[in-house]
Structure 1
Amino acid sequence: MAYALVTLFLFCFSLLPSAYLRYYPFRSIVQSPTRHVLLCGHLYIFLFEFVLLGALFSRGFLKMESGMFQFLYFFCYLPHLLLLVLTVRPFWFRHLFVLGLQAIYMIFIHTLSLEVYKLFLPDAWHMNRSLPYFCIYLFLFFLGMPLALRTMGRLFTPEQLTSPRSAFWPYLGPVPLLLCYYHANQGYFILNPDELFQPALQIYTLITLGMLVLVALFLVLSIQGGLQQVQKMFRLKEQNLQLQEQLNDINSYAVSLRKEQQELAILRHDSRHQLRMLAELAENGEFEEAEKHLLELRKEVADK
């Protein structure tokens, strides 16, 4: 019973690093309260599933047999998936894309774990023991975690997540999951020595897995470059709008300047006329009339 509980504990625990790997690309826009909700939610799911599976195995409803953990994985990982998707939203297709990349990484680690298991622990492999597999799987998963986090962490930036959604995500989001779909028949944990020890099958598995990883890396680099181009286009659009506003301001200033020049030209013309009239009045000795005219001009200037 202790062996089964340790195996179940490692199985439930193996789902947590995968959940964190899916969360990592969105970490830049997640606030502290949401982080607390995610942390507590994943821990509660882990504890609930561990207790539930322990009860089912102890009462004989489930048995430690080949393919059981493959069956349990899809049901046990679903709550972790829904927690993140419903908490960090609305990025449905981007969540789907990250899920596909995480699935490719898990398939890669899963295959390496099986090969290491078969190579170094053939007796345990033939005895259909799951505990050594989960130990090897978790070790390799954490060993490659820094590179996986670095690759996934550079996928999205806060500007890309907060900017309007790109039109290509509904088409590109499911691609990684479709690419790793044909690997699903390998299962999460398959113990079949008659088939999996065949050299031809091992070589085929490694080649297809290598191609899958290369395609995933190509997708990440392509998406990263495409998103950077989109951000550059948004920045250029903002710069063009700012330039257009500056041009509008300059045009408004030029219009007001032309208007002021026209008013000054009219003022100069009126001033010449008034000065000529005052000069004529002064030459004719009509000083009272000239003074009266000056007072009228002063009043007009004051009113303006």
Structure 2
Amino acid sequence: MDNVFVTVFLFCFSLLPMAYLRYYPFRVIATPREQRILIVGHLIIFAAEFLLVAALFILGYAPMQGSVFQKLYFVCYWPHFLLLLFTIRPFWFRHFFVLGLQGIYAVFLHTATLLLLKQLWAQTTYFASLYFLFYLGLLLINFPGMVWLIGKLFTRKQLLRGRQPTAFWKYLGFVPLLLTYYQGSMGYATLLQQIQDLSDIHLYMLVSRMILVIIGIVLVLSVRSGYRQVCIMLRAKERSMAIQEQLREIHDYADTMQKEQQKLAIMRHDSRHQLRMMAELVEGGHYDEAERQLLAMRKELKQQ
């Protein structure tokens, strides 16, 4: 009985660090209200799943075996994921991308834990408890590195821009999840039970899942690098548009100056003509007419 409660507690508790890992890239836009919803929601899910899974084993509806926990893990992580998915939205494809990265991490930890406990495989009574103790130990030891890796996966600016539909994430979002499904469906636990010489299998599974981790890291670095390149291109486009705007303003100013010069040329021509007429009027003794012309010129200048 005590072993059941300890094992189920460790199983349910192992889901919480992964829930935080899925939340961490989105922390930059999470409001205090959303943070409270996530904290309370995850704790409620943890308590509910602990009671339900414990009752499942105590009442004899499921045997205490590794294959049962694999199925339960697949079922029990969905409430945590859906809580995050509908609390911080509408970044659906980004959520699945982070879920896939977390899945790669979990598959690698699962393999490493089984390799550490391969000598204890026959001790079925306490194997599940030992498995989750080792699994949580490896999880917590490597957790800071994983947090660092995905901590800057999304920036606040990127996520806020991401509220608009992005075709890029529709194609990339499920890639880590598909890789995780492929590796997770290879039946490692079944092979361990059926094959006598396990050395080659151990090496193959460890290498293949290390490669999977490397692929996950490359995906994260590609997303970061790609976003930086997009930012550089956007800044270059903004500078180009600013230069075009300045050139347009200079062109408009040059057109204005050209029109003003044309007006001045017309005014100089008219002024010379009017002064010539006034000189002729004065020379001819037509002082009244010259005065009227002078007043008309003064009135015209005031209007301009």
Q: TM-score, normalised by structure 1?
A: 0.89
More off after superposition, 58-67 vs 197-206? 58-67
Q: Report the residue type matching 2:87 in the other structure.
A: T
Q: Distance in 1 between matches of 2:173 and 2:276?
A: 84
Structure 1 residue 132 and structure 2 residue 104: aligned?
A: no
> Given the superposition, is the C-alpha separation of residues 150 and 60 from structure 1 closer, same or farther in structure 2, using an over 3 Å criterion?
same
Partner of 1:184: 184
CA contact (8 A) 1:9 1:50 kept: yes
Q: Distance in 2 between matches of 1:39 and 1:102?
A: 19
TM alignment of 1:91-240, pairs within 5 A: 91-118=91-118, 122=120, 125-163=123-161, 165-185=165-185, 195=195, 198-240=198-240
Partner of 2:288: 288
Partner of 2:87: 87
User: How far has the Cα of 1:277 moved from its partner?
Assistant: 2.0
Q: Distance in 2 between matches of 1:231 and 1:114?
A: 43
More off after superposition, 253-262 vs 168-177? 168-177
CA contact (8 A) 1:118 1:125 kept: no
User: How far has the Cα of 1:110 moved from its partner?
Assistant: 1.4
Q: Distance in 1 between matches of 2:40 and 2:235?
A: 38
Partner of 2:42: 42
Structure 1 residue 261 and structure 2 residue 261: aligned?
A: yes
SS at structure 2 position matched to 1:127: helix
SS at structure 1 position matched to 2:66: coil
User: How far has the Cα of 1:33 moved from its partner?
Assistant: 2.1
> Given the superposition, is the C-alpha separation of residues 196 and 284 from structure 1 closer, same or farther in structure 2, using an over 3 Å criterion?
farther
SS at structure 2 position matched to 1:211: helix
Q: Report the residue type matching 1:180 in the other structure.
A: T
CA contact (8 A) 2:22 2:98 kept: yes
CA contact (8 A) 2:104 2:176 kept: yes
Q: Report the residue type matching 1:63 in the other structure.
A: P
SS at structure 2 position matched to 1:247: helix
SS at structure 2 position matched to 1:156: coil
Q: Distance in 1 between matches of 2:141 and 2:197?
A: 25
User: How far has the Cα of 1:187 moved from its partner?
Assistant: 6.8
Q: Distance in 1 between matches of 2:294 and 2:73?
A: 100
CA contact (8 A) 2:3 2:126 kept: no
TM alignment of 1:21-40, pairs within 5 A: 21-40=21-40
> Given the superposition, is the C-alpha separation of residues 189 and 85 from structure 1 closer, same or farther in structure 2, using an over 3 Å criterion?
farther
CA contact (8 A) 1:94 1:169 kept: yes
User: How far has the Cα of 1:197 moved from its partner?
Assistant: 7.4
Q: Distance in 2 between matches of 1:280 and 1:204?
A: 112
CA contact (8 A) 1:19 1:81 kept: yes
Q: Report the residue type matching 2:18 in the other structure.
A: S
Q: Distance in 2 between matches of 1:36 and 1:189?
A: 39
Partner of 1:276: 276
> Given the superposition, is the C-alpha separation of residues 187 and 161 from structure 1 closer, same or farther in structure 2, using an over 3 Å criterion?
farther
CA contact (8 A) 2:121 2:127 kept: no
Q: Distance in 1 between matches of 2:205 and 2:188?
A: 14
User: How far has the Cα of 1:106 moved from its partner?
Assistant: 0.7
SS at structure 1 position matched to 2:176: helix
> Given the superposition, is the C-alpha separation of residues 152 and 197 from structure 1 closer, same or farther in structure 2, using an over 3 Å criterion?
farther
More off after superposition, 166-175 vs 103-112? 166-175
Partner of 2:20: 20
CA contact (8 A) 1:19 1:80 kept: yes
**Unaligned 5+ residue runs, structure 2?**
none
Q: Distance in 1 between matches of 2:239 and 2:36?
A: 38
The count of aligned residue pairs is 302
TM alignment of 1:36-75, pairs within 5 A: 36-75=36-75
SS at structure 2 position matched to 1:180: helix
Q: Report the residue type matching 2:160 in the other structure.
A: T
